[in-house]
Structure 1
Amino acid sequence: MTGAGNVLKKHAAEAARRSPAAPGEDDEDDEEDEACSRIFFEPCLYHCLENCGSVTLAVACQQGLGANQTFYVDFRTEDGSAKAGSDYEYSEGTLIFKPGETRKELAIGIIDDDIFEEDEHFFVRLLNLRVGDAEGMFEADSDDHPKGKLVAPLVATVTILDDDHAGIFGFRERSVRVSECQGHVEVTVVRSSGARGTVMVPFRTVEGTARGGGVDYEDASGELEFRNDETAKTLQVKIVDDEEYEKKENFFIELGTPRWLKRGISALLLAQGRSLRPRTRPMTMDVPMTV
């Protein structure tokens, strides 16, 4: 046989793996596991709103059989996409589990602002587990003292949900066809990905091949008011029927930068399937007209 390495050696190792353990060996391992205390996050995933003030995390301690020691475990925050000092308050400290205590909580401060951000996250890590008794404090996994260990999950993830989003605004349809004899055209503006607060969305008509000022249509401009939790508004433009033959013509309706009245900051526009920040080009929709 070639290409298989030392076949006899592998066979012996496999046989040893399958052979029963020596008498009492498994019992010793089980006893050691039962005597070992385990400390971990429970749960390890947290979500909170930006304006919550603080988020509370829970750490569990499964104390081993007969354990009568005090455990000390350190924790500290670590940046993810959220940054300490701007999105959350950096924190570190020590949790103390006295004999019989199985749960401790720690609070991390969350920083609120009026700036729209994507949802962000940071981490909280457990480390440096120690055990104390009448003789002093020792490493929890030392051979001379009762054992304890940190087990997964050692790291908790906290996701901060942004609450400063008033929504994304756009037309329900990119193009609306209207006959000249209809007298008017109705266009719907929708609000998605958030509906917080009162938002004013400016609009106006813009000439294409069709002429405004009462020639082919009446000029229209103003603001649509979306109140808290409102997700759709309709605007109308009057169409002029001059009873003359004309080729197909079109004009546009343009949305301006939304104004969030609740806190005085802008919402977003949605154009061609993507979000645009305020102070970008306006969004338009085509309104073809036929006789």
Structure 2
Amino acid sequence: MAAPQEKTFSTYNAEQGKHYAQARPDYHASVYEYITTKHKETGGQFDTLVDLGCGPGNVARSLAPHFAHAFGVDPAPGMIATAKELGGTSSTGEAIQYGQGGADDFGSKGDVVVADGSVDLVSVGNAAHWFDMQKFWARAAQVLKPGGSVAIWTTGDLRVHPDSPAAEAVQEAMDLFQTRDLEPYFNEGNRIVRNKYLDLGLPWTVPEPVSEFPKNEFSRRDWTMSEKFMTVGEMAVNMDMMEKLMSTSSPYTRWCEANPDKVQGEDNILRKLRREVERILQEASVEKGKETVRGSALGAVLIAKKAKA
């Protein structure tokens, strides 16, 4: 299955990597607990973790305390620079090792090298929609131990929580923002995310099936609106935070690249959305300057197991 050719995050510089780390919320503890529990219950060991598409390293830092050795891999030099700066340690106190690499050859060269058949868990948080899944599954089969796991997850579509003020009207404004302003800057990877990875290539659906991953050992868990998939679901965010959060999306980054003269000021599409949300909330009797929105990510976690020897 051909890669959607992501060229936005993979070229992030150090400044962009820092902004991403500061603005993008982490996944909720329940996501990490589900992954580690499922891995353990299905016979997985906890020696070596590889977090692929690690970005600034938040997933690696959250999962590393469960593993003796932890590695983070990302194609973007800016993301890796930020991840190294933020650091993190494994259960043995060993520093997480970060290095550049992609889904086709991760762990084969550079700062992160792992032996074939040595990895217990390959984690991929919100990045698999940019992969050539045919090549990814083949490489994962090489590096994993028998009985090892691949945990892949996505946020899906961000929704306004029903408990948020004027939730329906705010959701309509955000949906219009997606279809009118961002849709022209979507690529196939963005659409795979919005469909919660239902169209993601799996070991038995890629053009050349990867037999090391039995279909009967595959699992999928979907988070509902009442559950928390990201930490942002625990709180109502103000308008500054909403802007920062939404500015980390790849379609918005591409819009900025195409409209450099509109990035600053009121012609910015995110600023226009902010003003519309402020208007809606003020009409719903929210005091000016105290507007907040509570979001909820309808995420999903997919876990595939390499067959035991």
TM-score range, shorter chain: under 0.3
Higher radius of gyration, 1 or 2: 1
Instruction: Calculate the TM-score normalised by the size of structure 2.
Output: 0.20
Which of the pair has the greater relative contact order for Cα pairs under 8 Å at 6+ separation? 2
- Which has more strand, going by share of residues? 1
